[in-house]
Amino acid sequence: MTQRGTRGAHGGPLGVAVIGTGRMGTDHVRRISRVTSGARVAAVVDVDGDRAKAVAEGAGDCTPYTDPDAAMADPDVDAVVIASPGPAHEAALLAAFARGLPVLCEKPLTPDAASALRVMEAEQRLGTRLVQVGFMRRYDAEYLRLKELMDGGALGRPLMLHNRHRNADTPPGFTSAMLINDSVVHEMDVTRWLLDQEITAVTVLRPRPSGNAPEGLDDPQLVLFETDGGVIVDVEINVNCGFGYQVQAEAVCENGTARIGDAHGMLVNTAGGWGGSIAPGFAERFEEAYDRQMRAWVDATRRGEVTGPSCWDGYAAAAVCEAGVRAQAEGRRVEVELVERPGLYG
C-alpha cells in the first residue's frame, strides 16, 4: 500500500473527492472550495448523475462520478471526504484503503459495531492511520476551551457531566433509535474525548412524550452514561423543543464547575423585555467547527499525517450506540462491549 498525494498532485493543492452530494456533502464542497486553503474539489460522487454533474459544475475544475471507485482512481484525487449515507461507508473506506487515500469520514464511521470493527481491522493491517472521523464538536471553540480547562487540572477530577441537546423539530420518519444513533452519538464522543475515559454502560429514561413530538416518537429522553473512570454523565435529548437548536455541557469537578453552550452573544433590551437569539439548526451552531475541522484535516493530510478522531473512536461510538438502543428498547441498564484497544490507536 502506497499513500498517494501527501502534498497534492504535482505539489499543487490537495485534490479531494467528495462522496455524497446531499446536504452535508454539498456543504463540504463549498467549504473546501471557498473557506479552505491548500485543497480543491477534484471529483464529486453521487448515485444521481445529474446531481453530481450540477455540484461539479459549481466547484470549478471538478469531475462528476456515480461510482466511488472510479472517482478514487482519478489521478487528480489525493484524498477523500465521505459524506454518503452510513450504510455505504464501509465499502468506500475499504476502497480508499486499497489506494492509500486519506479519508475524512462523516459520522457514523459505519452504522454498527461489527462493520466498524472490520474497518478498524483493515486499517490496522495497513500499519498506519488513514481515517479521521467527522466528530466536529472536538473542533468547536467552546468545547476546545472546556477540554483545555479540564486537562489543565485546575478544577480537579471530573465527577459528573451534564449535557443538553435540543432541536426545534425532526424530519418525517425520525425514530426513537435515531435519537441515539443520530443525535446522542455526539455526546458519546465528546464524553469520551473530554474525560479521556470509555463509556461502560448506558441507561435510558423516558418521561411522558412532549405534545410537540410526532406520533410514535418518545421524545424527550434522558440518557445516562457510566464511564470506566467513575464519572456519571447525563444527556437530555429533546429534538422537538420547538424553539431552536441548543447544545450545552457542564462539567462538575472536585474544585469547581464549567459550562458551555449558553450562547452569550448580544442581548437586547427593548419593549419591556430582554433577550437574544437561538441558532435554528446544527449547521449554524457548528459552522465554525466544521470549517476548523476541514482546515485541520487538509493541513494534516498535506503534511502526510492523520490526526483527529480515529477509527477506534468511530468503533467505540458505534458500540455505545448499540448499547444505548438496547437500553432504550428494553428499559434497563446495558453494558457496553468493546474489544481491547489496538496499539495503532494508543
Mean pLDDT of 2-15: 64
Per residue in 149-181, pLDDT (tens digit) is: 999 999 999 999 999 999 999 999 999 999 999
With a cut of 70, say whether residue 9 has pLDDT above it.
no
Average pLDDT across the chain, whole number: 94
Domain range annotation of the chain: 9-137+290-309, 152-280
Question: What is the model's pLDDT at position 266?
Answer: 66
Q: Is 289:136 a contact under the CB 8 Å cutoff?
A: yes
Per residue in 256-312, pLDDT (tens digit) is: 999 999 876 666 776 788 777 777 787 788 899 999 999 999 999 999 999 999 999
Q: In terms of CATH, what superfamily is 152-280?
A: Dihydrodipicolinate Reductase; domain 2 (3.30.360.10)
d(CA 301, CA 279): 32
DSSP state of 173: T
pLDDT band of residue 4 (cuts 50, 70, 90) is low
With a cut of 70, say whether residue 193 has pLDDT above it.
yes
**Residue 276: C-alpha distances to residues 46, 148, 261, 268, 338 (Å):** 40, 28, 13, 6, 43
d(CA 85, CA 107): 9
Secondary structure class of 319 (helix, strand, coil): helix
Q: Is 230:238 a contact under the CB 8 Å cutoff?
A: no
Q: In terms of CATH, what superfamily is 9-137+290-309?
A: NAD(P)-binding Rossmann-like Domain (3.40.50.720)
Report CA 225 to chain centroid distance, whole Å: 19
Residue 226 CB coordination number (10 Å): 18
Secondary structure class of 162 (helix, strand, coil): strand
- Size of the chain in residues: 346
Lowest mean pLDDT among 78-82, 243-247, 249-253: 243-247
92 phi and psi angles, rounded to 5 deg: -65, -40
With a cut of 60, say whether residue 5 has pLDDT above it.
no
Question: What is the model's pLDDT at position 273?
Answer: 80
Per residue in 215-241, pLDDT (tens digit) is: 999 999 999 999 999 999 999 999 999
At position 73, the amino acid (one-letter code) is A
d(CA 346, CA 107): 21
Of the candidates 242, 186, 237, 234, the one whose C-alpha atom is nearest the C-alpha of residue 211 is 242
